Amino acid sequence: MMSRKVLDDMNAKRTILLIDDELDSLEPVQMLLEDDYAVFTAEGGEAALRLLENEAVDMVIADQRMPGMTGVELLARVRELCPEIVRLILTAYTDFEAMLMAINEGRVYRYIIKPWDETDMQVTIRQALEWKDLRASQGRLSAEIAEANRALADRNRQLEQAQETIIDQEKRAVVGRFAAEMAHEINNHLQIIMGVNETVTSTDEEYRKRIIQEQAQMLVWIASDIRDFAQGAAMPFTPRPVDPAAPVEQVLRACSYHPSFRSIELKLEKGPLTTFVMDPRQVKHLLFNLLKNAARATDGKGSITVQLAVDGDLIVRIVDHGSGIPADIKEKIWEPFFTTAEQNGAGLGLSICRHVVEMHGGGISCEDTPGGGTTFVVRLEPFRKDRAGSSSS
């Protein structure tokens, strides 16, 4: 049986189900609660369970002593069916032990001792409903936290994937740059070898052999660089004490057989020189690239001068009287793949030069040659042990 004081209030009010085998004995409780709550009553456990199938209830208050199903037994069933309903029991002092056990086992939230006191009853019910609300909001919070954690885990997975992609792209960029630089150098040396073959007469046989031998040696080194790089080694950097004029003279000798230098006069001006610790192979790459640029700017004619000196640092100046570099591209020329060459220019020469200078420590810059043209100035610092291995960039 069901009792409703104000039907319209049903939705707004919290709903309490009272259960006893003798409905009359529930009347005082019902009267006490009716003003503040929507109250249902049920005659015994079975009736209560049937009612719960159709009604949304916030709280059940069952009498412990009922024939068939005791209050605690009923509340255990209620917990199984609707765990969110808060469960209270009305009991006499004599059932104290059973009540404690029921509370400890979580079947019952609180018990109310009979005969009950009105204020006590109201406070207990209010607290029980507050506890229910708290538990519900904790449940919602836990669900929100679980959802946020899931979203975080998803985001984390996405980030990891993005990171892998970036690392992959970086690796490709390093490999790409290395491959491009090596292809550039191979091309330089092959052009010299081809130039020697085309232009040298039989009287130059010894000289010709020497040039080809030197260039072939450079190609062998490049092949070994590529093999080392493929095995994970950094860009090679092998400094050793050398007469700084030797690599410069070798490059100038080779240039005279490169097609770009056929009508160009190459001059070497040596200042004070002492043995200098550097990687001659890398310095030859650098010089050759600067000379090739100068030859292009000079349109294959005129003269290019290499000035060499050691004043603590090694200073190399490559002076041309060519086109000069327009102010608006003076910054850009250092960028990889920037070129103004209409053909045979990858835009990598100056990047390679910078790379070589970085390995040694020092700087590279360009200035206008008085009277027209460009002068590139390279300054290499004396080798310091702590720089070894910092050349992998």
Ligand X SMILES: Nc1ncnc2c1ncn2[C@@H]1O[C@H](COP(=O)(O)OP(=O)(O)OP(=O)(O)O)[C@@H](O)[C@H]1O
Quick one: which segment of 27-35, 140-148, 191-199, 343-351 binds Mg ion (CB under 5 A)? Answer: 343-351
Does the footprint of ligand X cover residue 359 (CB under 6 A)? Answer: no
Q: Using the rule CB under 6 A, is 348 a contact of ligand X?
A: yes
CA distance 140 to 127: 20
- Cα–Cα distance for residue pair 151/140, rounded to 1 Å: 16
CB of 340 to Mg ion, least distance (A): 10
102: left (phi over 0), alpha (psi -120 to 50) or beta: alpha
Nearest 5°: the CA angle 100, 124, 41 is 90
**What angle, rounded to 10 degrees, do the helices at 245-255 and 205-230 form?**
110
225 interface partner picked from ligand X, Mg ion, none, CB below 5 to 8 A per type = none
Query: Minimum CB separation from Mg ion for residue 320, in Å?
Result: 12
Q: Phi first, then psi: what are they for 178, rounded to 5°?
A: -60, -45
Tell me which residues in 265-324 interact with Mg ion (CB under 5 A). 293
Determine if 319 is a binding residue for ligand X (CB under 6 A): no
Strand, coil or helix: what is 28?
helix
Residues of this chain, 176-215, that bind ligand X according to CB under 6 A: 184
From 234-242, 306-314, 320-328, 344-352, span contacting Mg ion (CB under 5 A): 344-352
- Taking CB under 6 A as the criterion, the residue among 51, 112, 121, 325 binding ligand X is 325
Binding-site partner at residue 320 among Mg ion, ligand X, none, CB < 5 to 8 Å by type: ligand X
Between CA 91 and CA 98 the distance in angstroms is 10
With contact defined as beta carbons under 8 Å apart, do 325 and 309 qualify?
no
For residue 312, give the DSSP letter: S
Q: In what order do the strands lie in the sheet with 374-380?
A: 263-270, 301-311, 313-320, 374-380, 362-368
Long-range CB contact pairs, 111-115, < 8 A, 24+: 111/64, 112/61, 112/88, 114/90
20 - beta bridge partners? 43
Number of residues located near ligand X, criterion CB under 6 A: 21
CB of 184 to ligand X, least distance (A): 6
Considering only residues 294, 316, 319, 359, which one is a binding residue for ligand X as defined by CB under 6 A? Answer: 294
Q: H or E element: which one contains 123?
A: helix 118-199
Packing angle of the helix pair 45-54, 71-81 (nearest 10 deg) = 20
Looking at the Cβ atoms of 88 and 287, the one nearer to Mg ion is: 287
| Residue 145, CB-side half-sphere exposure with 13 Å CA sphere | 6
**Ranges within 111-140 binding ligand X (CB under 6 A):** none
Minimum CB distance to ligand X, residue 206 (Å): 31
* Segment interacting with Mg ion, rule: CB under 5 A, options 36-44, 151-159, 318-326, 349-357: 349-357
Residue 17 and residue 82 in contact, taking contact as beta carbons nearer than 8 Å: no
Q: Is 340 in the site for ligand X (CB under 6 A)?
A: yes
Asked if 320 interacts with ligand X (CB under 6 A), we say yes
Site pattern 204..243 for Mg ion (x: CB under 5 A): ----------------------------------------
Residue 341 CB, shortest distance to Mg ion, in Å, is 7
Nearer to Mg ion, 128 or 353 (CB): 353
Asked if residues 76 and 101 have their Cβ atoms less than 8 Å apart, the reply is no
By Cβ distance, which residue is nearest to ligand X?
349
Do the Cβ atoms of 370 and 360 come closer than 8 Å?
no
The binder of ligand X chosen from 323, 354, 358, 383 (CB under 6 A): 323
Contact string 142-181 vs ligand X (x = CB under 6 A): ----------------------------------------
Told to check if 262 binds ligand X by CB under 6 A, we report no
- Nearest distance, CB of residue 366 and ligand X, angstroms: 7
Q: Out of 333, 356, 364, 378, which residue is the one contacting ligand X (CB under 6 A)?
A: 333
Strands (E), the chain: 15-20, 38-43, 59-63, 86-91, 110-113, 240-242, 263-270, 276-278, 301-311, 313-320, 362-368, 374-380
Q: Is 351 in the site for Mg ion (CB under 5 A)?
A: no
Residues that bind Mg ion (CB under 5 A): 293, 349
Residues that bind ligand X (CB under 6 A): 184, 289, 293-294, 297, 320, 322-323, 325, 333, 338-341, 345-350, 374
